[in-house]
Amino acid sequence: GAGRVLRAGEVVVPVAAAGDAAAEARLRARGILPGSDMRIMGLRLPGTSGSTEEQEIFSTESVPPARRGDVRVLLRPTDRAAMRDDVEYPIIVEARELPVLLSRFAAAAFFPRIVALAATDLAAVALAIAAATAPLPLAIAGRELLSLYVIPSTSMAPTLAKGDVLLVDKRHLSAPPRRDDIVLFRPPDKLRDLLPQNARDGVDRGDLFVKRVAAVGGDKRIRVDDDGNVFEDGAPLARDRSLCDDEPLGLIRRLIASGVRDVEEVSDDSVYVLGDCGKVSVDSRVWGTLPVENIEGKPIARVWPLSRAGVVR
């Protein structure tokens, strides 16, 4: 962890080096499940010369490399199933205590994440394996018409929780997207440019994003205030998006400050999309409107977990 740049709000995957059982045991002792997705809730740089004061920082990029190991990292699992009753969150550890921190989009994180998911939700892994090993005709149908999509983040909470499995209709859209539709899409260039390189690699392999349509072609005078609230002609544009509290250091406000604050009119070939969790969602407020041609499908239903299975709205 001390060797790479860390940013508040980032989701990382702590793992131990291959074969390092002692390092894995140390992570578990601190309440960290190796291979699980952990959000960096904050970063604190200790004072020097015996000072007990700590400075809240947004990134370790400006911290001298020799001091990055001293930075205290506040971590919390993004999946409640990975939380332990005997651990107080966020977990606070020094960066040097985290041997390897991977991006969740990194190829090296795939197997550790599967192992961690199996430890918390074995049935979800079994469902994914069943879909991946389906007979060829079903696989072709899944690729061209229907597919399963696992929600990777909290940006659509509480409607869609991280780990939810959706059945997605990938057929050609017979009608333009409507307000309040949930859509899966390929990232436009402006969003892709915001991603780290390993995340871009995932996009190149076909990874999709999910948001809700808040405005469509012809809608005018979209404005975003300093707190990230969105208005159309002075009236609130979207449903209540303040139902989640996973926001480290005002991250989204930093992105919105340099984002797309004003859209005079949404063009006919695009839509304005937002995440249901406005406090963490990187959406049209940051990178602008979404071309309709980038939309790959719409969710038909949630198929997992069974306790929440049903139509998604």
**64, burial (CB in 10 Å: exposed 0-12, middle 13-18, buried 19+):** exposed
Alpha-carbon gap, residue 132 to 241, rounded angstroms: 34
Catalytic pick among 162, 170, 211, 279: 211
Closest by Cα among 61, 106, 80, 114 to 246: 80
Q: Is 49 a catalytic residue?
A: no
- Alpha helices, DSSP H, located in the chain: 21-29, 110-120, 122-132, 136-144, 189-194, 197-204, 251-257, 284-287
Catalytic pick among 36, 103, 147, 155: 155
How big is the CA angle at 75 (ends 72 and 80), to the nearest 5 degrees?
165
Hey, what are 231's tokens?
């208005």
Q: What letters, b where the CB count within 10 A reaches 16 and e where it falls short, cover 26-55?
A: bbeeebbbbbbbbbbbbbbbeeeeeeeeee
Q: Is 155 a catalytic residue?
A: yes
Alpha-carbon gap, residue 240 to 153, rounded angstroms: 19
> Which residues participate in catalysis according to the annotation?
155, 211
